[in-house]
Amino acid sequence: MPVATVLGRALAFRAAYAVVTGGEPMIAPGIVELTQGLRAAGIHVTIETAGTVFLDVACDLMSISPKLANSTPEGPFRAQHERLRLQPDVLKRLMGGYDYQLKFVLAATEDVAEVCAVLDAVQADRRKIILMPEGTDPAVLRERSVWLSELCKREGFRYSPRLHVDLYGNTRGT
């Protein structure tokens, strides 16, 4: 779909905020043009990205979700995912060029060490760190939220529930 069509549809909502997400929006053809068009219309632009690609986009908040080892899939894409999932130099460029937040999805207490290693590598502002429990089952999310929220209080991080799972369950497109 042409960028002008996407932009026209987005502007028809008359929203003050737009979240550009994907897959990975930073590799989408026309992302620079789309974000510039949104910004020109006076819309606050947030981009949800894994933080592996830098482009000079129009963005008010770069919401970066670096992938932890707990996200590495089994199968033919495992090696490529593992090789590309963390790009500290790209993270630093994004953090230096835009207002940002770093959002990590944790499945176990063992993930905390990897989060801390990433934060040390990129010298992130701890007030801009968001931790979220991994999962789609409400009982699992509740169990993980207990230790994760305590960690957030202790370390000065922010906590985010998986509100879409709470509201809609494990349904695609929410």
> Residue 8 belongs to what domain range?
1-55
Is 60 domain-assigned?
A: no
Domain count, the chain: 2
Same domain, 42 and 70: no
Same domain, 97 and 135: yes
Is 133 domain-assigned?
A: yes
pTM, to two decimals: 0.91
Of 33, 55, 77, the one marking the end of a domain is 55
Is 74 domain-assigned?
A: yes
**pLDDT tens by residue, 30-41:** 999 999 999 999
The pLDDT assigned to 30 comes to 95
Same domain, 51 and 71: no
Region 108-119 average pLDDT: 95
Rounded distance between C-alpha atoms, residue 24 and residue 52, angstroms: 9
DSSP calls for the chain:
--HHHHHHHHHHT--SEEEE-SS-GGGSTTHHHHHHHHHHTT-EEEEEE-S--------SEEEE-PPPGGGPPSSTTHHHHHHHS--HHHHHHHHHHS-EEEEEEESSTTHHHHHHHHHHHHT--GGGEEEEE--SSHHHHHHHHHHHHHHHHHHT-EE---HHHHHH-S-TT-
The pLDDT assigned to 73 comes to 74
Same domain, 167 and 82: yes
Region 105-124 average pLDDT: 95
> Per-residue pLDDT for 124 more than 90?
yes
Region 75-83 average pLDDT: 85
Is 105 domain-assigned?
A: yes
